[in-house]
Structures are given as structure tokens and as C-alpha cells.
A and B are shown apart, each in its own frame.
Chain A
Amino acid sequence: MSSPNVKSAGGLSPWKWLLLPGMVAVILLSYLWAKDLPVFPSPKTARIFFWHVPMAILSMAWFFIAAFYSGRLLFGKDPFDDHRASKAAEVGLLLTVLATVTGAVFSKMQWAGGLNSPWYEGYWQWDPKQTAIAIVIVIFMAYFGLRMSIDNPTTRARLSAVYAILGAIAVPFLYYTLPHLPVFGTTIHPTDVIKQGMDSAYRSTFWLANLVFFGFALWAYQLQLRLARLAERRTELPAGAAEPRFEAIRKPATEQQ
């Protein structure tokens, strides 16, 4: 099967060229245009907001993309959906880790007195959202652990797809049910910032950051899929072509005759 989706290394799509100026614009706007928001305990150091929140939103998005392709693999007919799901989960794991790390820095600067506290303190607050994202990381790791321990590609595709769907059902429960339990307490995340706390400059920069990071994540995802397609094409034998392995066996036989 020829794969028209494998493009030559010719040139980048135009929107990928926009990512570099987009990234520069996000950095410049977040420091120069967006004024300090008094909602944050330490408004000057709150600029990591433009990195942390898009990462958290996108990690959930890629997680559900992985679950969607897992469902399509199970109930549809395209075996390549296995790669679509697992590569989405890889991008999702990367974004989740980034969201956790940026969130830890954010937490130290905002909730723990910033640089006035000892260097080892303040990164982890047992906030419900921190707890939930730690659990999501474990789901991803269990998913890849399951994939690594199965050799047969068909079984691996099926089982990991089932697991991704089970995880996708557990995640909304973790996000919305566990925070209501008494042991978790209330979140200290400023949940109203995204809804109404931002002025127009903050909001525009925030959505631009969302767009740019989505672009980068999509690009990484496309590259991963292209790698997977090339790896599959390498194992497939081209139709009608001589098979090199068998020729190597046949040759000495003809020489003997």
C-alpha cells in the first residue's frame, strides 16, 4: 500500500513557519504587554502562567486523543490507529511532565513565599490538581509499561487500547470527584483567573500561548507518526520487487549448476 501521507522532506507547511515568531511573540508579550495581575499572590513572578496552564490543558487534550484513537482501533478497521493512539499518549506524557514541573515552580513562587523560603520547599502542596496530574502520569506510565511487556503487535495494540479507554473513564472521576472528598481539601488553584480574572492583554497572550503550544505539540505528533509510517514501510516488502533475502539463498545454488 503506497502511503501518500509520507511527505518528502521538501518543505514545511506554512503554519509551522509561524510557530517561531509565535513563540517569540508569546515570550515578548508575556513580559512586556501583559501587566501584573493582582489575583496572584506574587504577580511579578506569575508569568509562568502562560506556559503552565496551556501545558495542563493540552496534556488532557492529547490524553483524550489517545483514548479516541484507541476506541477507533477497537471498533474500526485501521490498524495504524495503534500508532496514532500511542504517539498521542507519548506527546501527552511529555506535556503532563512539563505541566507538573512548571506547576511545581509556579507553586513555590506563588504559594510558598518564593525565594524567601528554603530552596527545597514549596514545590508540592498536595493540591487536588497536583494530586490528579500525578495520577495521570502514573496512568501513562502503566500504559507504556503494558505496551513494553507484550511482544505480539496485535495483542499489544488491543490491550493497550482497552487500557487507554479504562484510563480515560477514570480520569474525569479523578479530576472532578476526588477533589470533593474531605481528605483532599479545597484547591488553592485560582480557578476564576481563566474565567474572568484576566484583562484583555493577559487573555490574548494566554490564548496565543495555547495556540502556539498546540502547534508545537501537533508538529511533534506528526513527526512521530511519520517515523512510525516509515518504520512500517521498511518492514513491508514492495509489491512485485525481488525479495533480497531469497535471492541470497538462491544464488549459490545457480552457481553450482
Chain B
Amino acid sequence: MSSPAQTLPASRAATQGSWWSEVSAVLVKDVRSELRTRAALATILLFALVVLLIVALTVITEGFGLTRELLPADEMRQILQQPGAKAIDVTRATTGTSVTRASILSGLYWVILFFSAMAGLPRAFVKEEEMRTAPVLRLTARPSAVFAGKLLFNAALSLVVTAVLLLPFLFLFRPIVADWPSFLLHLPLGAVGMAGAATILGAMVARAGGKTYLMLPLSFPILLPVLTFAINGTAAAISGNEGNQLLPLVSYVVLMVTVSSFLFEMVWSE
């Protein structure tokens, strides 16, 4: 009679340490293979930058009602009575950014990030099925460790994308941010929240034969609360109004991640 430890392959015995060691092994493996090919990062970033450029070139985010407003009526009358007055003379630049402009910019940012993330986030699982490495991963790590590792990887990926996307966004759209701390908290938290709620969906897409077009309809209802909280919170941060959405955002994501971690084994195991 051989003991169970002897029948295990060497790799399993080596990683049969704590849960955390399995999680970090999955995470390190994913980061390494991502650095080798940069497939997921390139997918998300190229998608995001292209859409950001298209939107910046074609959508009017400055001008009347957005960064300019009409002068009071009597001042307007005085200006228009002078010879050679132009229509632009009766407007003035608003001191900050208007609420409308804040909502438009915040909505554009998060829609761009949502679509690019949905193109790239399922890669973490679809890759395993395509390369036929999923069975090995099933043998060598506990399902909960796989889920945690992939979750951390997706969160790190989203953070990198947010960091890279932030500068072109600020450069091209020039939002006049009223509340910088809140703005800089909403962007990474929203991105990590998206990754958290979408990780199990990526696993489902991979199990459904790697049909990545499924990711978008599947993620829409699940990610809509995250998106709404993030868009409203970011808009409030830009315009300087009340309306911090960090608490509902974090609580929804914590709930979703908890439930996903319970359900993940049903998706992952054969």
C-alpha cells in the first residue's frame, strides 16, 4: 500500500503547500506567460487606445454648454450693440467643468474601458483551454486557488490598463477635475471591480468553447451596477459635486467576488 503522497506527481507534491502558495504560483505563472506574449495586455490596450482616439477625434466635448456658457442678458445686449460683435463674444468659459461635460467624459472613459476589458479579460481562462493546459491546472491547484490567482491577475491587468490609459485620457480630453483624490480612487477601484465581477464570466466563456463574443452579453447585467457606480462617482469627482460612489461600488464587488468564489468550482471542475 502506497501512501497518497507517493502516488502524486512531483509537481503536485512540490506545490502541495499552503493555499497561498498555490495562489501565488498561479499568479506568477500568468504574469510570466503574459510578459512573454503580452496577448491580453495588447488586446485591451490597443482596443482602448484606438477607441479613445476615435472618440477624441469625433465627439465634441468642448464648446457651448460644455465649457462655455451665455453671459447675462444685459451684458449680452451691450456687447451686441457694439459694431463688429461676433456670436462667440456673448459666451464665456465656465470657471470649472460643467456637470454635462463631467458626465460625458466619465461615461466615455468607462464605456471605452468596459469594452476593451471585455475583449481582454476572458483571455486568462480561454488561453488555458486553447493551449490545453487547463487539465494540468485542474490537477495541480485547488479550484479556489485558481480562482484567486486569476482574479489577482485580472485585477493587476486592469490596474496596468488604467495607469496607461489615464495619461492619454487626461491629455486628449483635458477634464478639469475638481476632486483629484476621489477621481484617482474611482478609476482603479472601478477597474478592479470590473475585473472582480468578470473573472468567473471569463471562466464560463472558456468552458463554453472559448466563444469570446459571449462575454459582452453575459457581462452586461452583472457589470452594470459596477459601471453605474463608477460612471456616477467619476462624474461627481470631475464636476466637484456630492455623489461619492466608492462604498456601494466596493460592497457590490465584494458580494460578487464572494459568490463567484463559491460558484467557481462548478464552472471550473470537469
Q: A149-B209, A177-B248 are in contact. Are A165 and B214 (CB under 8 A)?
A: no
Q: Please report the C-alpha to C-alpha distance between residue A159 and residue B204 in the assembled complex, in whole angstroms.
A: 6
Residues of B within 8 A of A162 (CB): 200, 204, 263, 266-267
Whether B220 and A142, one on each chain, are in contact in the complex, defined by CB atoms closer than 8 angstroms, is yes
- Pick the contact of A146: B204, B224, B266 (CB < 8 A): B204
- Pick the contact of A165: B209, B228, B248, B259 (CB < 8 A): B259
Whether B214 and A149, one on each chain, are in contact in the complex, defined by CB atoms closer than 8 angstroms, is yes
* Binary contact readout B192-215 vs A (1 if CB under 8 angstroms, 0 otherwise): 000000001100100111010010
Q: A162-B266, A166-B259, A173-B252 are in contact. Are A146 and B218 (CB under 8 A)?
A: yes
- How many Å from the CB of A159 to the closest CB on chain B? 5
Residues of A within 8 A of B229 (CB): 181
**A19 close to B (CB within 8 Å):** no
A contacts with B, residue count (CB < 8 A): 30
**A139 close to B (CB within 8 Å):** yes
**B217 close to A (CB within 8 Å):** yes
Whether A150 and B209, one on each chain, are in contact in the complex, defined by CB atoms closer than 8 angstroms, is yes
- Pick the contact of A163: B103, B218, B224, B243 (CB < 8 A): B218
**A174 close to B (CB within 8 Å):** yes
**B181 close to A (CB within 8 Å):** no
Interface centre among B221, B222, B232 (most CB of A within 10 A): B221
**B175 close to A (CB within 8 Å):** no
**A197 close to B (CB within 8 Å):** no
- Pick the contact of B225: A145, A174, A183 (CB < 8 A): A174
Q: A149-B209, A174-B224, A181-B228 are in contact. Are A142 and B263 (CB under 8 A)?
A: no
**A155 close to B (CB within 8 Å):** yes
Closest to A162 in B: B263
Residues of A within 8 A of B259 (CB): 165-166, 169
For window 165-190 of A, CB contacts with B under 8 Å fall at: 165-167, 169-170, 173-174, 177-178, 181-183
**B255 close to A (CB within 8 Å):** yes
**A141 close to B (CB within 8 Å):** yes
Q: Please report the C-alpha to C-alpha distance between residue A177 and residue B221 in the assembled complex, in whole angstroms.
A: 14
Whether A150 and B228, one on each chain, are in contact in the complex, defined by CB atoms closer than 8 angstroms, is no
Q: Please report the C-alpha to C-alpha distance between residue A170 and residue B259 in the assembled complex, in whole angstroms.
A: 11
Closest to A181 in B: B232
- Pick the contact of A166: B200, B208, B214 (CB < 8 A): B200
Whether B266 and A74, one on each chain, are in contact in the complex, defined by CB atoms closer than 8 angstroms, is yes
For window 119-172 of A, CB contacts with B under 8 Å fall at: 135-136, 138-139, 141-142, 145-146, 149-151, 155, 158-159, 161-163, 165-167, 169-170
Whether B208 and A150, one on each chain, are in contact in the complex, defined by CB atoms closer than 8 angstroms, is yes
**B260 close to A (CB within 8 Å):** yes
- How many Å from the CB of B52 to the closest CB on chain A? 23
Closest to B217 in A: A142
Q: Please report the C-alpha to C-alpha distance between residue A181 and residue B252 in the assembled complex, in whole angstroms.
A: 14
Residues of B within 8 A of A178 (CB): 224-225, 228
Residues of A within 8 A of B56 (CB): none
- How many Å from the CB of B135 to the closest CB on chain A? 15
**B256 close to A (CB within 8 Å):** yes
* Binary contact readout A176-214 vs B (1 if CB under 8 angstroms, 0 otherwise): 011001110000000000000000000000000000000
B→A interface (CB under 8 Å)? 103, 200-201, 204, 207-209, 211, 214, 217-218, 220-222, 224-225, 228-229, 232, 243, 245, 248, 252, 255-256, 259-260, 263, 266-267
Q: 16 interchain pairs (CB within 8 A)?
A: A141-B217, A142-B218, A145-B214, A145-B217, A145-B218, A150-B208, A159-B204, A159-B207, A159-B208, A162-B263, A163-B204, A170-B222, A170-B224, A174-B224, A182-B243, A183-B232
A→B interface (CB under 8 Å)? 74, 135-136, 138-139, 141-142, 145-146, 149-151, 155, 158-159, 161-163, 165-167, 169-170, 173-174, 177-178, 181-183
> Which 5 interchain pairs have the tightest Cβ spacing?
A142-B217, A139-B221, A162-B263, A150-B208, A173-B225
